[in-house]
Amino acid sequence: VPDRDLILVLTPDEEKSGLLGAEWLVQNHRDLIDAAFAINEGGGGTLKDGKPFLQAVQATEKAFTDFTLTVKNRGGHSSVPRPDNAIYQLANGLVKLEHFAFPVMLNDVTRAFFSGTAAIESPVNAAAMRALLKNPNDAAAAATLSRDPRYNSMLRTTCVATLLHGGHADNALPQSATATVNCRIFPGVQPPEVQAELQKLVGPKVEVKPDPNYIGQPTPASPLRPDVVAAVNNAVHKVIGSDMEVYPEMSTGASDGSFFRAQGIPVYDIDGSWGISPIDERAHGLDERIPVRAMYDDVVYWTMIFKSLAG
């Protein structure tokens, strides 16, 4: 029997606009979610060589923002090609983006994550983590960690092309070409700053505009509550039989947590569905999956945490 109220929130569009879920909820029914803190899906455990490697609690996250890159052209007949081709101009801009990296940034959460992870990482990565913590401008250390896509995403704002459209007929020069570039913006950085950087990068012939439906806003980190950390630690140790420590983490993705953090509600993202290796990560893919055992383990994990925090 819980000794405090539990509020269950089920939303349909996490990591999208939030217009049908969390954002609508906080705008229209803030009174229904007046809570001391929130537990959300996210964080979770990482495998290495098939064995549990680390377990993290997300205390902050990047902001999800889409930008549309567009090139317009007068077009013409494909039998008379010209150098000013909309598809080529857009493609050249995207190649520049491919080879561009935003500067390294650290905050209290990522510092704590890298400090803790350095104790269990490979000697090369551990040395790079410690070097970067001492000097965020250490280019060699940043390059070493950036070889791992997950660490690279935790070090900086990232922007990547995800959708591409161009032309209208196979016998006509393209009159337009567009690309969607999805950015995960480091906490504290504003979307207009990223837009300006992208525009400078791709040049004046490519127009960069934010998608009004997907403009994320940076939110403050949630202070780590000892009771939450203790509950997660206990559940991890019992479910997977490991005595590993739990580290704070910044999510490289996006979650409903941002809408609640913006309302002053601390949010902690956790997950107990072990079994996916980082090199086999298929989230949002057409073949997304988790092991069957991971689903059942997650039920036990969450039940233990709820009982610990409200039992």
pLDDT at 251: 87
- pLDDT for residue 276 is more than 70: no
CA 141 to chain centre: 22
Contact assessment for residue 93 and residue 203, using Cβ atoms and an 8 Å cutoff: yes
What is the C-alpha separation between 298 and 227, in angstroms, rounded? 19
Confidence of residue 279 (pLDDT cuts 50, 70, 90): low
pLDDT of residue 28: 93
Question: For all residues of the chain together, what is the average pLDDT?
Answer: 89
**Phi, psi values for residue 306, rounded to 5°:** -60, -45
Any residues with CB less than 8 A from the CB of 299 and at least 6 apart, and which?
Answer: none
**Can you give the pLDDT at residue 224?**
84
Neighbours of 128 (CB within 10 A): 25
Three-state secondary structure call for residue 189: coil
Q: What is the DSSP string of 27-85?
A: HH-GGGG--S-EEEE--EEEEETTEEEEEEEEEEEPEEEEEEEEEE---EETTS--S--
Share of the chain above pLDDT 70, in %: 94
pLDDT digits (tens, 9 = 90+) for 76-87: 999 999 999 999
Q: For position 15, what pLDDT does the model report?
A: 59
Give the pLDDT confidence score for residue 72 in this predicted structure: 97
3-state secondary structure of 4: coil
CB 269 within 8 A of CB 31: no
Check residues 274 and 206 and name the one with the higher pLDDT.
206
Which tens digit of pLDDT belongs to each residue from 52-68?
777 788 899 998 899 99
CA dihedral 9, 10, 11, 12 (to 10 degrees): 180
Instruction: Supply the pTM of this predicted model.
Output: 0.85
* 3-class secondary-structure state, position 182: strand
Q: Which pLDDT band holds residue 18 (cuts at 50, 70, 90)? A: low
> Residues 43, 57: contact at Cβ < 8 Å?
yes
| The residue count for the chain | 311
Angle at 216 between CA 213 and CA 219, to 5 degrees: 150
Q: How many angstroms from the chain centroid is the CA of residue 132?
A: 21
Q: What is the mean pLDDT of residues 204-222?
A: 88
Asked if 268 contacts 225 with a C-beta cutoff of 8 angstroms, the reply is yes
Per-residue pLDDT band for 284 (boundaries 50, 70, 90) equals: confident
- pLDDT tens profile 92-134: 999 999 999 999 999 999 999 999 889 888 999 999 999 999 9
